[in-house]
């Protein structure tokens, strides 16, 4: 598994998390309050909360970097 790029790590400040249990899965929403960017993922509820938050934050950083790159192309 690749590590998040430094630029992606620096891009994230505060991240808000929401956890909802649906049967055997956990629906996790990660939100960047400054930009309003939101990502949703499904996780195994048996995993640690820290690990789930780390993965959700990594996905959020990826999406934000992708959106930023797309905006710069315009």
* Residues 15-63: tens digit of each pLDDT: 999 999 999 999 999 999 999 999 999 999 999 999 999 999 999 999 9
Report the pLDDT value the prediction gives residue 10, as an integer from 0 to 100: 58
Give the span between the Cα atoms of 58 and 8, in whole angstroms.
8
User: Does the global pTM surpass 0.85?
Assistant: no
Element (H, E) at 43: strand 38-43
Task: Collapse the DSSP code of 39 into the 3-class scheme (helix H, G, I; strand E, B; otherwise coil) and give the result.
Answer: strand
Closest among 35, 42, 43 to 66, alpha carbons compared: 35
In this prediction, residue 37 carries a pLDDT of 95
> Does the structure show a pLDDT above 70 at 5?
no
């Amino acid at each position: 598994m690749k590590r998040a790029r430094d630029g992606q790590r620096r891009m994230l400040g505060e991240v808000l998390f929401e956890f909802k249990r649906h049967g055997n899965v956990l629906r996790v929403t990660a939100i960047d309050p400054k930009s309003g960017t939101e990502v949703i993922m499904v996780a195994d509820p048996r995993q640690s909360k820290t690990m789930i938050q780390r993965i959700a934050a990594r996905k959020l950083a990826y999406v934000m970097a992708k959106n930023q790159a797309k905006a710069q192309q315009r």
